[in-house]
Structure 1
Amino acid sequence: MASAQRPASSSDSDRRYANIDERKRKRMLSNRESARRSRMRKQKQLGDLAEEVSTLQKENSQISERISAAAQRYIEMQSANNVLRAQAMELTDRLRSLNSVLHIMEEVGGYDVVIPEIPDPLLEPWQLPCLIQPIFASVDMLEY
């Protein structure tokens, strides 16, 4: 407490204020530098996020195009299936007509004819009488 008794000289006071001012100035510079680094970090994060958004939008667009192409192929295959089903029904009807003619020939003419039974294609389409034929496919049919 000896210093409390002794009056402070103006040079001691000036040095103390100089030290406080110097610390304040260093702290301000440090804070400015820290804020600058923080802004740069945020700017880089924003740039990275913008790049990621762009990449995801591009991927989304490509996936949408592939979905549209697959949907179009599905519609085309569904249409082709409908045509094939109609043709199968028409051929089944013709076969039934021919079988009825064979029945008439058997009854009227006395011929012994073996008439195959025709399954109903709507109930059991997997039992349609047909020759075993290979199914040809291309790589394009399997792309999606």
Structure 2
Amino acid sequence: MASSSGTSYSSPSDEDMKARLERKRRRMDSNRESARRSRMRKRKQLEDLTAEVDQLKAGRNAALTALATVNQHYIAVEAENCVLRTQHGELSNRLHAMNEIINYMNGINNNNINNPNGFDPLYNGLGSGLGFDTNPWSVSGGVSLHPLMASGDLFQCY
């Protein structure tokens, strides 16, 4: 066919049409395959993320269980610590009272040295003549009493 401008235009041949259709079919097949691979990648990624979520949930549950156990141990230790602090206070008070008694009794022994008659104004001399010291806290052999000292193993729990 001739055009009015004088150039000729030819229609596509059957072979060209077949080649174009073949390229189009290959492109469509390639696009389908690419879409299929993309869907598979997304499905695999979703499965991996789901497995990771399950793993993280299991780890979280294990951590919560461990935390609950540690909390129970903490509460038990805190209660025991409270009991031990109370016992420490009571024993400290008793130790202080015993030291005051010993200090007082050592003072009486020193007074007896200064008072050769053995008269103790605290006892009004009631013990004299009965065959024992007027000071019931005195230790035989002239050993003076020393303050009591607490040791660390006194407070150990078994």
Q: TM-score, normalised by structure 1?
A: 0.71
Indicate which of 135, 144, 147 corresponds to 1:116: 144
- The residue aligned with 1:43 is 50
Deviation for aligned residue 1:115: 5.4
Determine which of 62, 68, 76 is the counterpart of 2:69: 62
1:18 corresponds to: 25
User: Who is 1:142 aligned against?
Assistant: none
1:93 aligns with 2:100: yes
Q: Using a 3 Å threshold, how does the CA distance of structure 1 residues 8 and 94 change in structure 2: closer, same or farther? A: farther
Larger gyration radius, structure 1 or structure 2:
2
Aligned to 2:37: 30
Task: Report how many residues are paired.
Answer: 124
Where do 4+ consecutive residues of structure 1 move more than 4 Å?
134-137
Gaps of 5+ in 2: 1-9, 119-140
Name stretches of at least 5 consecutive residues in structure 1 with no aligned partner: 120-127, 139-144
- Deviations 1:99-139 (CA, angstroms, capped at 9, x unpaired): 2222233322356x7352645xxxxxxxx368x9x86752x
Q: How high is the TM-score relative to the length of structure 2? A: 0.65
RMSD of equivalent CA atoms: 3.0
Aligned identity (percent) is 9
Q: Which structure has the higher relative contact order (CA within 8 Å, separation 6+)?
A: 1
